[in-house]
Amino acid sequence: MRRLTRERSKSAAKLLENIRRYEIFNDFAEQEIQVLIKASERKLYKPFEVIFRQGTLSYKLYLILSGSVILTRAVGGDEEFLALLRAGHCFGEVGIVNRSPRTATATAKDDTLLIVIDHDVLETLGPSLSLKLYRNLARTLAKKLQMADERIDALAGRLSQLSGRRVRTPREEDWW
């Protein structure tokens, strides 16, 4: 019995150490992370098992503990590769924040262990912890948006170069 308790203790400590790798938890206290872990679900996906499909509704955030996830997007009739995510990454931020349809399909590349945080769980955690997580998710989404903007600018520059004409990309003033 004592050995089992020690093994569980080691497993919990390792899980806590893994969670600390996520940028969205960098300002969380150990106790706050433990509360979140206890309220969340751990789920194992087999190779090529679909986690969610583009266009479906899902109010969950996923944290990769082990394995890897392929993100793809249907464009026309083709499947476009977006990213390969590994342990330490999270995905599904838009769904948990905005409650909108998934913008991509997520598929396990190999045996993949995820922590799944449901939007309803956030509602039960209390305002302080929920606010902290939402703030950190907003920062993560802002970084991803900035990277997407840089990629769009690079592609527009390349297109301008190939066409010999300036390709205009939308700017803030175009939105307001």
Tens of pLDDT, residue by residue over 143-170, are 888 888 888 888 888 888 887 777 666 6
Residue with more model confidence, 18 or 38? 38
In this prediction, residues 104-117 reach a mean pLDDT of: 95
Q: Is residue 2 pLDDT above 60, yes or no? A: no
CATH fold, domain 2-166, is Jelly Rolls (2.60.120)
| Per-residue model confidence (pLDDT) at position 133 | 85
Can you tell me the distance from the alpha carbon of 116 to that of 62, in angstroms, rounded to the nearest whole number? 5
Cross-strand bridge partners of residue 78? 75
* Predicted model pTM: 0.77
pLDDT-based confidence at 3, cuts 50/70/90?
very low
What average pLDDT does the structure give for the chain?
83
Q: Is residue 113 pLDDT above 70, yes or no? A: yes
- Lowest-pLDDT choice from 46-55, 83-92, 102-111, 122-131: 122-131
Give percent helix, percent strand, percent coil of the chain, each to the nearest 5. 50, 25, 25
Of 89, 98, 111, 101, which is closest to residue 53 (Cα–Cα)? 101
In this prediction, residues 105-109 reach a mean pLDDT of: 97
